[in-house]
Homo-oligomer: A and B are copies of this chain.
Amino acid sequence: MEIELITIGTELLLGQVLDTHQQWLGRRLAERGRPLARQITVPDHGPAICGAVQTALGRADLVITTGGLGPTDDDLTRRLLADLLGRPLGQDASVAAHIEGFFRQRNRPMPESVLVQAQVPEGAVVFPNRHGTAPGLAIEVAPNPFGDGSEPAWLILLPGPTRELRPMFDEQVLPFVEKRWPQREAFHCRILRSLGIGESAVEETLREPLRLLLVRGLELGYCARIGQVDIRLSGCGPDMPAILDEAETAVRALIGKHIYGMGDETIAEAVVAQLTAAGETLAVAESCTGGLLGHHITNVPGASAVFAGGALSYSNAMKQKLLGVSESTLAEHGAVSKPVALEMAEGALEAGGADHALSVTGIAGPDGGTPEKPVGTVWLGLASTGRRPVALRKFHPFDREAFKHATVHQALNLLGRRLQKNS
């Protein structure tokens, strides 16, 4: 089956907004063996939207659009495509009730204009929107006037906002697609997530040992992010689960110490799960990461059971006041140093009454570097009750945000490895 994605929005072409739908939807579909064949971005402009959808319906089995379902005048998608396909729009009572409830719950007056989002093309499947007002819509185009006439096509319209689109896609659209286009051969996919090893090192280490499995149909893919590499093992057919087992065993034997999780699991999710299983708690002391470590941990539902909190000890005064770092240590070694990282971790452990504490102190840049401690230098500390604290020096000469992300991943990995050893 062929799937095309059309992302609609002038703001995407003007570069005001980064299109993350392509990557997210592309990955979701690829993981289920249905890779995107093509992606197109068009502006909020009638002829451009219709032209792109028409051409795509002439080629693909399924065309997915994102955006343009909102209540404002530049939200053209619903009406345009209903017209293009000759489907009259009618108000859907349950969608209208949902929209009214949405505003009532928030104690906000409802502008009349938002009810345009309850207009549904005749015969369309409605995907309710748990996180917003515009529902998703699926329309069967049969007969298909844009193709060669032999095959019907489907058009699925999704809302643009990420927090609305993603749960709708996972909960409603994927099951719809999998039911409508069942796969002849089951597709299997397993993703191993690694940290602290480069993409080419991963590839060189795995290439030879996995060669025989590739001959048997295994597909191997890599995806590198800041400081992380995902290893994607996939393939079709009844033998594939056994082949994936073999492949996973081989990968773990070769680079197991770098593997922290599976599938979509983030390093923070893995660490929170480990802490929860162990019944242990964590505190943090963040300097250069400025809260990103705590943010990652608290993104995990249920984190409150294992996360005590901590200190954003951005200034030296805060390091002393909240964490008890000694003035002499700061004066002698500087804020970005092993002794300060250790004292920060011990201070957070004590303040949080926690079982473990992570500390981070470094130079994010662009200013503040010296020849001995250039921008990108960072010390990570880990203290655990009843053990000697440890500290690690790392170097991430990236831009400010990439520096923070790489540092947070490594700090979590430092704790993750300790918890792994303990279990």
Q: Which residue from chain B places its CB closest to the CB of A114 in the assembled complex? A: B200
Q: Do B299 and A351 touch (CB < 8 A)?
A: no
Q: Do B301 and A290 touch (CB < 8 A)?
A: no
Instruction: Tell whether A410 is near chain B: CB-to-CB under 8 Å.
Output: no
Q: Do A322 and B317 touch (CB < 8 A)?
A: no
Instruction: Tell whether A252 is near chain B: CB-to-CB under 8 Å.
Output: no
- CB-CB under 8 A from A23, the residues of chain B are 12, 15, 17-19
Q: Do A16 and B223 touch (CB < 8 A)?
A: yes
Instruction: Tell whether A88 is near chain B: CB-to-CB under 8 Å.
Output: no
Instruction: Tell whether A314 is near chain B: CB-to-CB under 8 Å.
Output: yes
Per assembly, the copies of the chain total 2
- CB-CB under 8 A from A24, the residues of chain B are 15
Q: Do A222 and B74 touch (CB < 8 A)?
A: yes
Q: Which residue from chain B places its CB closest to the CB of A25 in the assembled complex? A: B15
Chain A binding surface SS class: mixed
Whole-angstrom distance between the alpha carbons of A194 and B293 in the complex?
28
Instruction: Tell whether A39 is near chain B: CB-to-CB under 8 Å.
Output: yes
Interface residues of A in 286-323 (CB under 8 A from B): 286-295, 297-299, 301-304, 307-315, 317-318, 321-322
Q: Do A232 and B286 touch (CB < 8 A)?
A: no
Q: A70-B199, A292-B295, A299-B400 are in contact. Are A322 and B311 (CB under 8 A)?
A: yes
Known: A18-B18, A72-B199, A161-B226. 14 other contacts (CB 8 A): A13-B26, A13-B38, A14-B35, A19-B22, A40-B40, A71-B203, A163-B226, A291-B297, A291-B312, A298-B314, A309-B313, A310-B312, A311-B312, A312-B312
Name the 7 nearest CB pairs between A and B, nearest first.
A15-B27, A290-B298, A291-B294, A291-B291, A309-B314, A15-B26, A309-B318
